[in-house]
Structures are given as C-alpha cells and as structure tokens.
C-alpha cells in the first residue's frame, strides 16, 4: 500500500510548524497513512510529533545498497549524466557520512552505473531487487503533478519492516532541476538528499530546520543539502554504529553488469509499499517557472538508502 504526505510552502499557506519535541525525527513504518488500507494496519499518529506510533519501523537488512541511474547522455535539461551521477552520490553520501555517538551509521550505498531498463518491484523467488533513479520527462503518472518534485517508492516486508527495494522518480515533466550553487530553481541535490532520507527509512519531521521537514521555502535554496541534528539523530537510530561495517560496499562483491540486471525477472511481491511527498499549494495562473521559484516538492516510498562512492562501468 502507499501512504502519501504533502510538503507545502508555509509562507503561502500562512501555516505554522508543529513545535519541536525532544525526538522530532520520525521513522517510516509499515502502517497505512492513506486510505484505502488493505495490506497493513491504519497508522496511529502522535498529535505532537506527527510520527506513526504503530507498525514495524523500516530499515534495510543488508548493509550495502546499490542504486542504478538512467542510461542517457542528458537525463535532465541542462544536467548531463556525469553531473547527475555526482549530485546523486553527494546527496546519498550525506547520510552515512554523519557521526553518531559510537561512530558512523552502519549503512552504505553505491552507484551501480547506468541502466537501460527501468525495472521496479521485487522478485520474491530470486530475492532480487533493482533499485533505480528514474527521470520522468513527460506525463507525470502520480497524483498532484504540480506538487510532487519526486516520488520514492519503498517496498518492505509487512511483518518486519525490512526494506527490499526502492525506486526514485524525478518529476522533470513539471519542474526544472538545477545543480548550480548560484542559479537555483528546483535544487537537485536538496531534492535527492530529502528523498534519500525517505529511502533510508525516515519520514517527515516537525523540526523546521531539518532536511526531512515537510515544509520548504525559497529562502532555504540549497540548505536541504546539509543535514541537521534531527536528521543525524534519525539516521543513527535506524543504523546504529557498531552493528556492522560502515564501509559495507567496499567489502561487498562487485555489482552485476547492467545488461544482466535488465535481464532479471522482477515481479511484484506481497510486501508493504509506502510513499511520502513534498507538495506545493495550488496557485491558479502561475507559470511553471514560478512554481520552481516558489517551492521544492518531493515524494518518497520507504526503501533503503545509499552511500558509498564505488561505481562500476
């Protein structure tokens, strides 16, 4: 099942932010936030933190996650494949690079390279998954096309919360992503850093300064690239230091070649799917470039996260 959460521009809505609690970070769980709920229990939400208080908390069981990128020279307008690779690596690396009380988080992510196919789902027989970053250039297929910057789909076991697969989609049909520090429309690294947090098991937080906060304003520009104390506390809680090697991808076997990955048979599995999103408020008559200047929107499905700077050709 999917649970959608909207991130809105506080200034335009005149909204207020929930006061920060001692532990504001929220972990995504297997409960269902958005009806209809068919494969899991309905979420019970803490009124103060807005965190789900039931269901199994999501986390990757394996410690090295491989993410595949689209195989195209220019995946985004004005952003070539090399830039997308660099920004994606930087965005995901922010999370395992933090320092926990006992060391670094025990999760690692690597880029597998470019892939021709856009496989999604999980093969329960082969226990095989293909984690992908995809660019949707036209006809965004999800609800609220003017509000979602990206969608991260996470599939997990309902019984344990173990993440099995993740797929991130960037909404290039409705947003102009930029990778510059000076000219900032929809900042690609900020978007991917937020999505990476969802992919690693984090939900939105009420901490207004955190990368995982559900509200963004133009004044933040590229600030979501930098993790705050609340983000660090969350990732350290999911992957405590000392449980496994923090450089798991360095120790892991070499990734398969893209051709063999595309030949893999990937089928749906009876698993839990969750998604969270960042959405912009409706504003009739505003042009697309105004949307980009006003707010950043992203969405995610709970899945797992990435980190290592290891690549395969």
Domains of the chain: 10-301 (3.40.390.10)
pLDDT band at 20 (very low <50, low <70, confident <90, very high): very low
Per-residue pLDDT tens over the stretch 89-110: 999 999 999 999 989 999 999 9
pLDDT score recorded for residue 293: 30
Between the alpha carbon of residue 201 and those of residues 55, 155, 196, 233, 271, the distances in Å are 13, 11, 9, 13, 15
303 or 255, which is more confident: 255
List, in order, residues 6 or more apart from 219 with CB less than 8 Å away: none
Please state the rounded mean pLDDT for residues 111-137: 77
Which is more confident, 23 or 20? Answer: 23
Higher pLDDT, 258 or 43: 43
304 in Cβ contact with 166 (< 8 Å): yes
- Classify 14 as helix, strand or coil: coil
Over the stretch 195-241, which tens digit does the pLDDT of each residue have? Answer: 999 999 999 999 999 999 877 666 788 999 999 999 999 999 999 98
Instruction: Give the mean pLDDT of 35-53.
Output: 89
Res 27: pLDDT: 96
Is the model's pLDDT at 308 over the cut of 90?
A: no
pTM: 0.80
pLDDT of residue 236: 95
What are 311's two structure tokens?
A: 């690549």
Q: How far apart are CA 224 and CA 199, in angstroms?
A: 16
Tokens read off for 112: 């597998």
């Amino acid at each position: 099942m999917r649970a959608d959460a909207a991130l809105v521009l506080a200034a335009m809505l005149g909204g207020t932010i929930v006061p920060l609690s001692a532990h504001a970070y929220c972990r995504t769980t297997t409960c269902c936030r958005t009806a209809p709920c068919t494969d899991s229990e309905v979420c019970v939400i803490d009124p103060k933190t807005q965190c789900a208080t039931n269901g199994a908390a999501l986390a990757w069981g394996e410690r090295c996650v491989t993410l595949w990128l689209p195989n195209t020279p220019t995946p985004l307008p004005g952003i070539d494949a090399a830039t997308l690779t660099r920004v994606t690596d930087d965005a995901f690396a922010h999370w395992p690079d933090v320092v926990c009380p006992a060391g670094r988080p025990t999760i690692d992510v690597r880029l597998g390279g470019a892939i021709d196919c856009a496989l999604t789902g999980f093969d329960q027989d082969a226990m095989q998954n293909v984690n992908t970053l995809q660019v949707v250039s036209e006809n965004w297929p999800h609800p609220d096309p003017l509000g979602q910057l990206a969608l991260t789909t996470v599939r997990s076991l309902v019984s344990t919360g173990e993440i099995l697969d993740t797929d991130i989609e960037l909404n290039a049909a409705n947003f102009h992503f930029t990778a510059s520090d000076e000219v900032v429309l929809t900042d690609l690294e900020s978007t991917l850093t937020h999505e990476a947090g969802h992919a690693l098991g984090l939900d939105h937080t009420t901490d207004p300064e955190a990368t995982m906060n559900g509200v963004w304003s133009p004044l933040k520009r590229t600030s979501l690239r930098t993790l705050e104390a609340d983000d660090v506390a969350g990732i350290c809680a999911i992957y405590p230091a000392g449980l496994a090697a923090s450089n798991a991808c360095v120790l892991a076997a070499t990734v398969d070649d893209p051709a063999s990955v595309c030949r893999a048979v990937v089928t749906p599995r009876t698993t839990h799917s969750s998604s969270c999103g960042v959405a912009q408020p409706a504003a009739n008559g505003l042009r697309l470039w105004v949307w980009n200047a006003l707010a950043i929107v992203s969405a995610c499905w709970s899945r797992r996260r990435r980190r290592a700077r290891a690549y395969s050709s």
